[in-house]
Amino acid sequence: MAKKEMVCTTCGSLVAPQSRTPGSFWVELLLWVCFIVPGVIYTVWRLASVHKACPKCGGKNLVPPDSPVGQKLLRDLASRT
């Protein structure tokens, strides 16, 4: 199934959102190797904080293109080009 395109309210792009995981894999690995309890806490935080984001600007605010805000952003984008 193809990803549904969304409109980014930050940059106005029509994009397929990507999942973003905050933090660093290397920090997580270091915490697991050196300190197990902080490693578990950091891993849980990273997994709980996964969000969809715009691949162009990294913005978290995405709206469907058929919503009123999405339609306005798409009209503004079309008028700029």
Task: Convert the pLDDT of each residue in 9-21 to its tens digit.
Answer: 888 888 999 999 9
CA distance 12 to 65: 11
Domain boundaries, the chain: 1-17+54-81, 21-52
List, for residues 14-70, the tens digit of each pLDDT value.
Answer: 899 999 999 999 999 999 999 889 999 999 999 999 999 999 998 899 999 888 988
pTM of the model as a whole: 0.69
